[in-house]
């Protein structure tokens, strides 16, 4: 019988009259990978923040390693052996990998008041090699990919030799190969008796790596089950409170004339000779392995990156894009993949995040913003998109991931675009919020917009897109209508295999 390392009983938490947690139960055993799932706003993060001491519980008990505890800060929890890897990277970008991993523990490598940099870097290299992470200790974090940053976060968490590691969406930016590497690390930690709380919205990976699952909904505990005893459909029904068949179903509609065309787009080192068209009302998808060039194609179109050659046409007219501002003027909007660094501005309010791209329209002749006009514009569109927020002036970081994403989509819809580029539009959001985003994309296409969408989730592309392009090493290598597309067929070309190869 596995030994219990953590037991949270009847945990309740109220924020300003709103019940965030209502008598929630959670029990964790040593050497077990335990999934904690639920829609955004279900209370998962709040429960973990109560455990880590970021929030103080109103009621309930926490028993950790055989004694009742109440931590008052994450550092106190960390010293007790509870570590957390956050979905949004929390590294110091100007520092090296080694400096980030040992930040606050420099005394481990100090002698006579001097930091022994070589000793610290050697220890970092040993740790990274042990975990199978191929990153140099002296690499500056800001030059790493998001996936590499997440692996550094993992290394930092493991360096504390914790009893419990909480992983929040740990695979959201990883390639298939990196995911397998992560699974290998998790299995080795599990074998050493480390207990792992695995928070994820990718249900298929729960069956791959988790032993059991606890489900939450609307701040309440729904149940805990062995993964082997619960089906995918049952899981979704428990998470959302409704059967899987009601989540999203694309309806057919007539497509119009070609609205958007890209010819011979090249950005050396990233994408080459890219050609495609999108009709009014059409959703076109791009798939491929991580690093294949999907994001780079969209960024070159939108002016985030400078293309070396190629032409872009909107409604038959060539447009010249040197910056995102030019793209917006041409009738193109883009929801970027990285919500933290390129999407939401966390120091700004929900309303200002939404109206950012149309700020000039909200100014009068002497360049002062009209608050009343801005509030009206924001509220109408937010209501239309069913954005849930407490106040227009609330910081966007207070919203769930799904609602943050809807605010970013609202930003571009307010520009009244003819073309919408969506890069991983449902990354890191729960199954219920995903269905809302799917319905929103479908509605935008019905309104006649041309939608170009990048996604790492094949079922998403297969259910939403009218046509799918496969990108391999920066080039479009295959095009397929949805009716003929299968996951196996698309992955065949994503791996660069020719017709007939296997």
pLDDT in tens, 151-192: 899 999 999 999 999 998 888 767 777 888 889 999 999 999
- SS3 at position 238: helix
Asked whether residue 332 carries a pLDDT value surpassing 90, the answer given is yes
Q: What is the DSSP letter of 231?
A: -
Find the mean pLDDT for residues 233-258: 75
Banded pLDDT at 380 (limits 50, 70, 90): confident
The dihedral region occupied by 361, where left means phi > 0, alpha psi between -120 and 50, and beta the remainder, is alpha
Q: What is the pTM of this model?
A: 0.61
Summarised one tens digit per residue, pLDDT across range 38-57 is 876 688 888 999 999 999 99
Asked whether residue 502 carries a pLDDT value surpassing 50, the answer given is no
Find the mean pLDDT for residues 387-401: 81
Contact 163, 139 (CB under 8 A): no
Find the mean pLDDT for residues 297-324: 94
* Whole-number pLDDT of residue 248: 65
Asked whether residue 344 carries a pLDDT value surpassing 90, the answer given is no
* Alpha helices, H only, 135-209: 146-158, 176-191, 203-209
* Whole-number pLDDT of residue 445: 92
* Whole-number pLDDT of residue 412: 83
Q: What is the 3-state secondary structure (H, E, C) of 23-57?
A: EEEEEEECCCEEEEECCCCCCHHHHHHHHHCCCCC
* Total residue length of the chain: 502
Summarised one tens digit per residue, pLDDT across range 101-152 is 999 888 988 888 899 999 999 999 999 998 888 899 999 998 988 778 888 9
Banded pLDDT at 429 (limits 50, 70, 90): confident
* Whole-number pLDDT of residue 335: 87
How confident is the prediction for the chain on average, in pLDDT?
A: 86
* Whole-number pLDDT of residue 307: 92
Find the mean pLDDT for residues 220-236: 90
């Amino acid at each position: 019988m596995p030994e219990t390392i953590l037991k949270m009983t009847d945990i309740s938490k109220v924020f300003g009259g709103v019940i965030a947690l209502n008598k929630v139960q959670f029990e964790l055993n040593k050497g077990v990978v335990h999934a904690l799932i639920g829609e955004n706003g279900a209370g998962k993060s709040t429960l973990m923040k109560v455990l880590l001491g970021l929030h103080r519980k109103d009621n309930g008990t926490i028993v950790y390693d055989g004694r009742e505890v109440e931590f008052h800060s994450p550092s106190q929890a960390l010293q007790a052996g509870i570590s957390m890897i956050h979905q949004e990277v929390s590294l110091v970008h100007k520092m090296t990998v080694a400096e980030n991993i040992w930040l606050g523990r420099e005394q481990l490598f100090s002698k006579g008041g001097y930091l022994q940099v070589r000793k610290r870097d050697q220890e970092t290299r040993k740790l990274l090699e042990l975990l199978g992470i191929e990153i140099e200790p002296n690499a500056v974090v800001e030059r790493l990919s998001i996936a590499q940053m997440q692996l550094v976060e993992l290394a930092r968490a493991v360096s504390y030799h914790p009893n419990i590691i909480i992983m929040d969406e740990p695979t959201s930016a990883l390639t298939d190969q990196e995911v397998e590497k992560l699974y290998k690390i998790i299995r080795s930690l599990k074998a050493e008796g480390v207990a792992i709380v695995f928070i994820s919205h990718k249900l298929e990976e729960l069956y791959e790596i988790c032993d059991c699952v606890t489900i939450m909904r609307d701040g309440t505990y729904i149940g805990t089950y062995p993964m082997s005893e619960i089906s995918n459909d049952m899981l979704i029904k428990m998470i959302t409170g409704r059967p899987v068949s009601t989540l999203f179903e694309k309806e057919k509609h007539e497509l119009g004339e070609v609205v958007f065309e890209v010819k011979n787009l090249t950005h050396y080192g990233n994408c080459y000779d890219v050609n495609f068209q999108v009709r009014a009302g059409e959703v076109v998808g791009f798939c491929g392995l991580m690093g294949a060039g999907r994001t780079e194609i969209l960024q070159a179109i939108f002016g985030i990156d400078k293309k070396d050659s190629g032409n872009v046409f909107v409604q038959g007219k060539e447009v010249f894009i040197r910056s995102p501002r030019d793209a917006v003027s041409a009738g193109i909007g883009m929801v970027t993949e990285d919500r933290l660094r390129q999407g939401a501005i966390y120091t700004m309010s929900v309303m200002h995040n939404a109206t950012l791209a149309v700020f000039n329209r909200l100014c009068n002749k002497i360049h002062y913003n009209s608050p009343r006009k801005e509030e009206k514009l924001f509220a109408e569109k937010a209501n239309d998109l069913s954005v849930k927020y407490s106040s227009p002036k609330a910081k966007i970081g207070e919203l769930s991931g799904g609602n943050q994403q809807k605010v970013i989509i609202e930003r571009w819809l307010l520009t009244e675009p003819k073309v919408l580029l969506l890069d991983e539009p449902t990354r890191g959001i729960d199954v219920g919020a995903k269905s809302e985003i799917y319905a929103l994309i479908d509605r935008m296409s019905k309104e006649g917009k041309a939608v170009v969408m990048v996604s790492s989730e094949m079922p998403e592309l297969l259910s939403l897109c009218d046509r799918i392009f496969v990108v391999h090493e920066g080039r479009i290598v295959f095009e397929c209508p949805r009716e003929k597309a299968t996951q196996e067929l698309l992955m065949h070309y994503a791996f660069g295999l020719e017709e007939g190869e296997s």
